[in-house]
Amino acid sequence: MANVVSNSARLLHAGFVLARYDALIPADQLMQAPWPARTLLKIAKLGRTESLTGGEHNNLTSALTRLGPSYIKLGQFLATRPDIIGAKRAFELKILQDRLPAFADAEARAIVERELGKPIAELFTNFGPAIAAASIAQVHKAVTLEGKTVAVKILRPNVEIRFGNDIESFAFAARMAERLSKQGKRLRPTSAVAMLKDSMKLELDLRMEAAALSEIAQNSKDDPGFRVPEVDWTRSAKRVLTTEWIDGTPMADVPTLRAKGFDLNALADTVIQSFLRHAIRDGFFHADMHQGNLIVDPNGTLVALDFGITGRLSEGDRLFLAEILYGFITRDYFRIAQVHFDAGYVPDTQDVNTFAQALRAIGEPIMGLPADQISMGRLITQLFEVTEQFQMQAQPQLLLLQKTMVVTEGVARTLNPTLNIWKAGEPVVRHWIERKLGPLGKIEQAGGSFMSLARLGLKIPAIIEDAHRITRKLSDMANTEPPKPSQWRTAAVLAGAAALVVMAIEMVLK
């Protein structure tokens, strides 16, 4: 009962802030809203000054920023689903900055000393002020006793507690939404919240980020033009991560990159190829590849930072992905369709030819565009929209990949606006397929897809096992029947929160 009260209170506060910022219901739809919602909005806006929001387009963004870290994360989730929250709002959320005021240096030093069990003076000869501060952590530049310059990332004080509370409220709202509304049930918000919780657990343990850096370093040690900062394990703990300082040019600063004489086209290729290599070859990829997390070092090497969010793909997922990309490149829609059936992603009750026809309807208009306008990420986005209509279970790991692909392509295109993404990516896809399954020609002669061949005895047990493992894990987390989870379903959480707030107000007013 106490939980219900505190969760409701927190949600009520969230609803209040959203309403105060005009973020709950767009001003032009206000008159169509039910009366309790209109009353709530009026109450929330009592005494509000117009300066609350910085412009007509960022009400939701301002409100979420004000509500704090977990809501910022939620907003980042929702930004990728215009089909759920509308194009305008998704666009608004895209500019949701993950930048907050820094916490005090003294506090940062205290956390480092507590976590590493030594006074600062025994760890660093110099410990500078924060150079960047975001919702979860901030970064300081420091020099070790051995004279190495390092970046020290420190979790915000009490951030775990805050996330814990907010996630509990989200879960509560999700349960209510599932119980109260048909739409809420279909969107399965509880499994989405469970996923958000799982991903936050990793992000809030910097040892996991250190391990991710180390794993990517090992996987990519022979990759051309790409590296990650080295981890200083002796100065890292749950709340502190120390890595080699990269003295480079931020990827966002294209004019300086150009002025320094770097080959921007080659860099754009490296961005795409590194991402695809990690996803397809290694099955472990950086899932937050925006410009702010990329630096170019003085040798022109692309350095990726910030491994708080990563994605994993099973052997089966990787085969599947390679097949899809290759299928679209060769415009072999039947093959792409067959792959979905072979992988068990689309149920046998569906018709493979009709599915292939739907794939052609997405593929042809896109593949017919000039090469510099084709986006793999968008293609896959549309693919998932169609697969859903054919009752394909949502595959969260593939959704994360698709989202990252769109971001990665955006970064590459800022470096080279005429980039042909297929051309940049094809060598990686082809190389992997060839290495995995022998010469392409042989397979084409065999007349089947790689998946079908694989099915003849290669990897199917592993694929099935993976599928079982993922399903089991997710159903443990969601604590319900075997879920079809996907991140975008978090959208329903917001809807649930709003519904609750409206109900509460209705009760008060009665």
Phi/psi for 485 (5° steps) reads -80, 155
CB 176 within 8 A of CB 500: yes
Q: How many CB atoms are closer than 10 A to CB 14?
A: 28
In angstroms, give the least distance from the CB of 139 to ligand ADP.
4
Going residue by residue from 24 to 53, which x/- string records binding to Mg ion, judged by CB under 5 A? ------------------------------
Which of Mg ion, ligand ADP, none interacts with 243 (beta carbon under 5 to 8 A by kind)? Answer: ligand ADP
Looking at the Cβ atoms of 198 and 244, the one nearer to ligand ADP is 244
Q: Tokens 């059936």 belong to which residue? A: 341
DSSP label of 120: G
In angstroms, give the least distance from the CB of 251 to ligand ADP.
10
CA angle 491, 494, 495 (to 5 degrees): 90
Q: Tokens 């794993």 belong to which residue? A: 215
Which of Mg ion, ligand ADP, none interacts with 151 (beta carbon under 5 to 8 A by kind)? Answer: ligand ADP
- Looking at the DSSP bridge assignments, the partners of residue 127 are 142
Looking at the Cβ atoms of 211 and 460, the one nearer to Mg ion is 211
| Tokens linked to 66 | 């004000």
Going residue by residue from 132 to 171, which x/- string records binding to Mg ion, judged by CB under 5 A? ----------------------------------------
In angstroms, give the least distance from the CB of 241 to ligand ADP.
8
Which of 276, 385, 368, 290 minimizes the C-alpha distance to 325? 276
Looking at the Cβ atoms of 203 and 342, the one nearer to Mg ion is 203
Which of 378, 387, 399 minimizes the C-alpha distance to 192? 399
DSSP label of 45: T
* Chain residues 242-301 in contact with Mg ion, contact rule CB under 5 A: 293
| Residue 288 a catalytic site member | yes
Instruction: Give yes or no for residue 203 binding Mg ion (CB under 5 A).
Output: no
* Chain residues 296-335 in contact with Mg ion, contact rule CB under 5 A: 306
Looking at the Cβ atoms of 141 and 423, the one nearer to Mg ion is 141
Q: Which residues, 6+ apart, have CB-to-CB distance to 212 below 8 Å?
A: 284, 307, 310
In angstroms, give the least distance from the CB of 119 to ligand ADP.
23
Q: Which residue is nearest to Mg ion (CB)?
A: 306
In angstroms, give the least distance from the CB of 316 to ligand ADP.
31
Q: Which amino acid is at 293?
A: N
Measured distance CA(186)–CA(325) in Å, rounded: 30
Q: List residues near ligand ADP by CB under 6 A.
A: 131-132, 134, 136-137, 139, 151, 153, 229, 243-246, 292-293, 305-306, 308
Looking at the Cβ atoms of 92 and 306, the one nearer to Mg ion is 306
In angstroms, give the least distance from the CB of 294 to Mg ion.
10
Looking at the Cβ atoms of 4 and 131, the one nearer to Mg ion is 131
Q: Give the active site residue among 223, 288, 306, 332.
A: 288
Phi/psi for 411 (5° steps) reads -60, -45
| Tokens linked to 229 | 């900062």
Measured distance CA(325)–CA(334) in Å, rounded: 13
**Chain residues in the site for Mg ion (CB under 5 A):** 293, 306
- Residues annotated as catalytic (active site), given as ranges: 288
